[in-house]
Amino acid sequence: VSFNSARFLISASRLDECPPDDGVEIAFAGRSNAGKSSAINCITGHGKLARTSKTPGRTRLINFFSLNREHCRLVDLPGYGYAKVSRNMKEDWQEHLGHYLNDRRCLRGLVLVMDIRHPLTEFDRMMVDWCEHNQVPLTILVTKADKLKFGQAKTTMLTIAKELKQQQFVENLVMFSATTKRGLDETRDILSQWFEP
């Protein structure tokens, strides 16, 4: 597949608004502000495919992007923990995302985006556990690596790898930066393989 071919397809606020559950989907999850939109924009080579400036109303939507191969889609899941959402909206969000994650048969793998300065938040651990439990392949992008000195970034990666090995499985752990494009080729390779039949 060519990631540069990504085009906005549809936004869904409920499961029954999603495209038909066929083909292959790769979904992106992350805490709000982790750098998920920037990562998606970087991978697809689009400046603004996933909006980098958010409004509260948009955070709840699941956004689908089609690729050049039929029925291959990238999915931008709502960011978790938007600062201004109320408790109710959080519950809403969890239920909403839960439906997608639990019911979507064409979900081939999950890309979890986390900020290298705030790795493995409670939400991240929940997603890792969920992937392990449901045997969904997981790639973790540890992004904004450019915010740390390389040595520091390396040490953080090792710490994360160690923590994950003790408790859970994870298929790929990539040091990433949307700013410098570090890890971009590796990430595209991983996702391309997931799209192979």
Exactly one of 177, 190, 191, 194 binds ligand GDP (CB under 6 A); which one?
A: 177
Binding flag, residue 34, ligand GDP (CB under 6 A): yes
Between residues 13 and 193, which has the closer beta carbon with respect to ligand GDP?
13
For residues 47 and 195, the answer to whether their CB atoms sit within 8 Å is no
Q: Which is nearer to ligand GDP, 139 or 177 (CB)?
A: 177
Least Cβ distance, residue 8 to ligand GDP (angstroms)? 15
- C-beta of 181: minimal distance to ligand GDP in Å? 9
187 lies in the site for ligand GDP, by CB under 6 A: no
CB-CB neighbours of 118 under 10 Å: 12
Task: Show contacts with ligand GDP in window 70-99 (CB under 6 A).
Answer: 79
Binding residue for ligand GDP, selected from 12, 25, 30, 128, defined by CB under 6 A: 30
Strands 7-12 and 62-66: antiparallel
Q: Interface with ligand GDP by CB under 6 A: which range of 64-72, 92-100, 121-129, 172-180?
A: 172-180
Q: Which is nearer to ligand GDP, 49 or 138 (CB)?
A: 49
- Please select the residue that binds ligand GDP; options are 18, 27, 36, 184, rule is CB under 6 A: 36
